[in-house]
Structure 1
Amino acid sequence: MTEQTAAPAAEPAPPGRSVPVAEPAPAAAAPPPMPLLPPLPPPPAAPRPPRRVLRAVARWTVAVLVLGGVGAGTAYKITSMERTKVPGLATESDGRWEYPRLSLPALPAGVPRPFNEGNTAEIHHADLRKLLLPAPAGATADKKLTGGWVSTRQFVSEYAQASRAGITGTLRDGALRHIAARGWTMPDGTSTRIYLLQFNSTAYADAYRDARYIGATAGDPLVGAATMELDESWSGGGRVEDTASYVFGEPKPYGAAQARQGYLVAGDTVALVVQSRKGGGGTPRIPFDQTLILQNQLLG
C-alpha cells in the first residue's frame, strides 16, 4: 500500500515577526455623478392691465350680454307676431275688406249644384239666403236688409220712381220666386246693398235681363244716379264659368254720392250689387270689385 506523503505543515512564524496579510484588490472607482442642471427661471409675469382697462372690459362684457338677451327676446317676439303687426313690415292695405271665410251651404243628398252635371236647368237648390255674401269686418248692418226675404217693393225702391212700375210688372210676369237681400255700411261711409232674385227657370232670369236692357247699358236708373257708364276696365276677375257679369259706374260730376252697380246672372238667379259713398272722393273701386267677385263665386 502506497503511503501518501502529507504536505509539510506551515512553519509558525518566529516570535517577534508579523506575517504579511494579502489585501484584496481595490474595487473599481464609481464614475462621478453628473452635475444637475440649474432650474429654469420662472416665466415673466404678464403685465397687469391698468385698472381702467379692466373696468372698461367689464362694462362692455355686461353690455354685450344684456344686448344679446334683448336681441334674442326681440327676435322671438318678431317671429311670433303676424307680419301685419310688425312695424315696418306690415303689408300695406290695398283697400280690400276683410270678409269672413266663405263656404257653400250643404245640399240634400243627390242634388247637384247649378252648373254641375245633372243640373241642366242650372237651378239653385240651396236656400237663396245662404248664398248671400256676408258683411265684412267692421260693417254696420242695414236694418232693412238683414239677409232674409224682402218684397218686390223693397227691391224696386233702389230705382228711380219712373222705372218702378215697369220693373214690378216685369217681375210679376217673369215668374219671380223670391228675393233675398243684405246690406251694410262701412266706417268710411261706403254703403252696400245686395239683392238676389230667383226665377222659376234660367230662361226667365235671362228674360228679365233682356227686358230691362241690362248688358250694354245699366238698364233702369238708380235713385240719385241717372247716368251710369259701362265699366270697360272690368275683366270679370274671379268670374265663375257659365255666369255673366255687367258692371257700371256713375261718371263725374256725380251728386252727393257716387254709385257703382253690377249685375250677375247665374242660372235661375239675377243679382244686383250696389255701392255708394257720399263725399267728393267717390266710391272705392277695389272693395266694389271684391264684393262682386265673391258674390259671383257663391252663386256658382
Structure 2
Amino acid sequence: MTDKKTTATPDAPTAAPETPVPETPTPAASAPHAEGAAAGPVGGEGPAAPPAVPRGRRVGFAVARWAAAVLVCGALGTGTAYGIASLDRTDVPGLATESDGRWDYPRLTLPALPEGRQRPYTDGNRHHIHHADLRDLLLPAPLGATADKELGGGWVTESRYLSEYAEEHRPGLEQALADHGVRHIAARGWTMPDGTATRIYLLRLTSSDMAEEFLQAGIGHGLSPDTALNSAPETRLDESWEWDELTGPVTLHVYDEVPPLGAEHTRQAYIVSGDTLGLVVQSRKGVAQAVPFRQTVLLQSQLLG
C-alpha cells in the first residue's frame, strides 16, 4: 500500500471562506434595478426570482441530509453484519473450511442388549463378552458409498474371510479358526467415489482369551503380521499412530504396506475387544489416504469398546 502524503499550503487561512450557493439567474435578476425599485418582473417577462434561503437554514438542510445518509449506511452495515453473523462459516464465500479428507458417517449408536446383559467392559461383565448381535456392531457405510454386494453387513462364511489372505496362508489360518472356536463372522464392505474400498470383518470367539490367542497364533502380530493379506504381501507397523490419543480398552495393531506398492495401496488394522476380533482393510489405486483409514478404524473401535 502506498502512503498518502499531505502537502501543506503556506499561509493557508485558518478557516475556509464561505462558498455562496449559486442561484438560478433570471432575466429580471440580470437587469439593473433603480434604487428603491420594487422587486418584481420587469416588463412582465419571466417569473420573479425566488427569495434567497437564509444561511442558517441552508446549514440545517445540509446537516439533515448528512444525518439521513449516516443512518442509511449504518442500517445497511448493521444488516450485513447480522446476515453474516447468522450464517454458518461454510455459507459465507471465502470463509468455507476445506475438507480434511474425513468421510461423513451416520450418527453411531450402540445396539440394544438382551435383558439382563451388560456391555463388555462394565463391572458386571468380567469376561468382556459382547452380548449384542455382532452384525449390529459393524460400522455403517459413510455417505456416498456404494455397498459391496457380497459384504452387506450380514454373516459370511469362513472361506470368504480366508479369501482376504495370501493363498499359501489359508490352510494354516483355517485350522486356527477351528482350534480357537470362532463362532460367527460378520462383514461389511463399500467403495467410495474416489475408488477407496473398505472391508470390515468381525470374528466372535468363545472368550476374550481365545481372541488374543487367535491373533497371536493364527495371524501373528508385531512389527509385521505373519499372515499376509492377499493385497499386501509385505507390511510394517504404522508408527505414525499416536497411541496416547486412543481411548477405551480395545487393542489395536495397525499396519501399512511396504513400498514399492503394486497397483493398489493397502492399509490394515486388527482390533481386539473382548471376545471379538476385528479386521479393517482399506485399499485404493495409487495411495490409500491415511485420514479416512484412521477415522474408520477408530469409529469401529468405539463400537466394540
TM-score exceeds 0.5:
yes
CA distance in 2 between partners of 1:232 and 1:273 (Å): 17
Q: Comparing 64-73 with 189-198, which one deviates more in the overlay?
A: 64-73
Contact 1:121 1:201 (8 Å CA) reproduced: yes
Q: Comparing 79-88 with 128-137, which one deviates more in the overlay?
A: 79-88
Alignment of 1:1-300 (within 5 A): 45-46=54-55, 68=74, 70-211=76-217, 212-236=219-243, 239-279=246-286, 282-300=287-305
Quote how far apart the aligned CAs of 1:64 are. 5.8
TM-score (norm. length: structure 2): 0.75
Quote how far apart the aligned CAs of 1:214 are. 2.3
Describe the shift of the 1:84–1:218 C-alpha distance in structure 2 as closer, same or farther (beyond 3 A): farther
3-state DSSP of counterpart to 1:176 = coil
Quote how far apart the aligned CAs of 1:216 are. 3.3
CA distance in 1 between partners of 2:112 and 2:208 (Å): 22
Quote how far apart the aligned CAs of 1:73 are. 4.2
Gaps of 5+ in 2: 1-52
Q: Give the partner amino acid of 1:77.
A: G
CA distance in 1 between partners of 2:129 and 2:196 (Å): 32
Q: Give the partner amino acid of 2:179.
A: D
3-state DSSP of counterpart to 1:163 = helix
Quote how far apart the aligned CAs of 1:78 are. 2.2
3-state DSSP of counterpart to 2:265 = strand
Q: How many equivalent pairs are there? A: 251
Q: Identity over aligned residues, as a percent?
A: 54
Q: Comparing 185-194 with 102-111, which one deviates more in the overlay?
A: 102-111
Quote how far apart the aligned CAs of 1:70 are. 4.7
TM-score (norm. length: structure 1): 0.76
Describe the shift of the 1:150–1:70 C-alpha distance in structure 2 as closer, same or farther (beyond 3 A): farther
Larger radius of gyration: 1
Quote how far apart the aligned CAs of 1:69 are. 5.2
